[in-house]
Amino acid sequence: MSTKQELLKELYPEDLLSISKELTEGEVQFLKQLNDMLEEKYRDSINEHWINATVPEDFFNDMGKLNYFNNPLLFEGREGARTTSQMFQFFLSYTIARFDVSLVTVLGVHHGLGHNAFLFGGSKEQVAYYVPKLQSHELRTCFALTEPEHGSDVAGGLETTAKREGDKWIINGAKKWIGGANLSDVIPVFAVDVDTGKPKGFIIKPEQDGVDIDIIENKIALRIIPNANIHLNNVVVKEEDRLQNINTFKDIAKVLYSTRAGVAYMATGALAGALRATLDYVTKRKQFGKEISKYQLIQEKLAMMQGNLSHAMALSAQLARMQENGEYDEVATSTAKMMNALRLRDSVAMGRGITGGNGILAEYDIARFFSDAEAVYTYEGTHEINALVIGRALTGDSAFI
């Protein structure tokens, strides 16, 4: 069996700062299994799925079989721990994003936003029933907050309504950009209580009367993950299916803050994927009689991409360490998301440029990373919104409105 050091050299040769050495042996073994599964089962078809906007049918089930929430490998030397380590969660997202950004988004929506909506927002009974099924992938979920006219301002602009009638609620409104809604078994939907003006969360199933879901077509990014519109027309939800601990926007924000670090991790992994795709191309492509990797201008751009990656890895790793210590800081997560997504956008542009005309063909990996970077730059808070979170902390003044 390969040693931990040998596995890390194989898995993360781009980790110049040796951050991955902080992983346990069990975590490294798990990540090797994950990487092998991705490469052996999905490498040959991933670009085709992106071109055709189709979901690899087995991916969700394969991730469930890996048992990334509770696999014993992830708790070796961590006896008594209730959750996997934050450093592992960084490298889990990193490894999948390095392979494909859509796949890590599918998983992030499920195990981050969706799962945490039940974990943080549910009653003890709801947590006991739903969370184990979500962790094992027996059930799929998503996160229905964003609306057709409200994204960044959804905290004060939620238009979907909930009206209580006895022991039932009547939900009306619409949601947009809901990743994986058409594939979900249960959907946490957020709506304003018309009597109190406060937001609440509701567990809705796609097959319920009054629920209509349609797929958003013609995306230029994250083509593998289906994003959906959800139309809610007098949808009846029992009080027992209301997420009992979602009663203010602060409760919803707790879910968002818990996952913003994950998007910083995704951006870092995508940066690594772009570097890997570019390196693979330049070592094979010949111009003027030799591989273009031998030219100075190409090497300078590759060095910049590696530098951006090392910066992003360092920022993500420190964020993981902070969160391992219980320090969930809004400004820190906004900084990591903003800067890592910015470095990603810069790096995919260099990689796309290096690969010339072929870089705009979706059969080459760099074209996929180039396009998907635009989505990462936008979701879980745009660059501007995260900048305003940081600016508010620096100045004491809120410039959101």
Question: Class assignment of domain 250-395?
Answer: mainly alpha
What pLDDT is recorded for position 155? Answer: 63
Q: How many residues does the chain have?
A: 401
What pLDDT is recorded for position 113? Answer: 93
Terminal-to-terminal C-alpha distance of the chain: 58
What pLDDT is recorded for position 153? Answer: 66
Q: Which helix (H) or strand (E) holds 395?
A: helix 383-395
The Cα 182–Cα 179 span in angstroms is: 8
Bridge partners (DSSP) of residue 287 are 290
| Cβ atoms of 261 and 336 closer than 8 Å | yes
Query: pLDDT digit string (tens) for 286-326?
Result: 999 999 999 999 999 999 999 999 999 999 999 999 999 98
| Cβ atoms of 67 and 35 closer than 8 Å | no
| Cβ atoms of 309 and 348 closer than 8 Å | no
pLDDT under 50: residue ranges of the chain: none
What tokens appear for 325 in the block?
């210590």
What tokens appear for 294 in the block?
């031998």
Burial 70-85 (b: 16+ CB within 10 A, else e): ebebbbeeeeeeeebb
| Cβ atoms of 46 and 100 closer than 8 Å | yes
Q: Give the phi and the psi of residue 283 in degrees, each rounded to 5.
A: -80, -10
- Hey, where are the domains in the chain? 17-135, 154-247, 250-395
- Closest-CA residue to 277 (of 98, 17, 146): 98
What pLDDT is recorded for position 328? Answer: 86
Residue type, 195: D
Bridge partners (DSSP) of residue 13 are none
What pLDDT is recorded for position 81? Answer: 87
The Cα 244–Cα 252 span in angstroms is: 12
What tokens appear for 346 in the block?
């810069």
What pLDDT is recorded for position 82? Answer: 87
315: CB partners within 8 A, 6+ apart: 264, 268, 335, 336, 339, 340
- Secondary-structure percent of the chain, ordered helix, strand, coil, rounded to 5: 60, 15, 30
Q: Which residue has the tokens 């494909």?
A: 100
| DSSP, residue by residue, 232-301 | EEEEEEEGGGEETT--SHHHHHHHHHHHHHHHHHHHHHHHHHHHHHHHHHHTT-EETTEEGGGSHHHHHH
The Cα 127–Cα 83 span in angstroms is: 15
The Cα 63–Cα 58 span in angstroms is: 9
The Cα 312–Cα 267 span in angstroms is: 8
The answer to whether domain 154-247 has CATH 2.40.110.10 is yes
CA of residue 211 relative to chain centroid, distance: 25
Residue 13 DSSP one-character state: T
Please give the model's pTM, rounded to 2 decimal places.
Answer: 0.94
| Cβ atoms of 185 and 167 closer than 8 Å | no
- Closest-CA residue to 61 (of 107, 116, 93, 130): 107
Q: Establish whether domains 17-135 and 250-395 are of one fold.
A: no
- Closest-CA residue to 248 (of 204, 197, 202): 197
Q: Which residue has the tokens 């409760």?
A: 251
**CATH H-level, domain 17-135: superfamily:** Acyl-CoA dehydrogenase/oxidase, N-terminal domain (1.10.540.10)
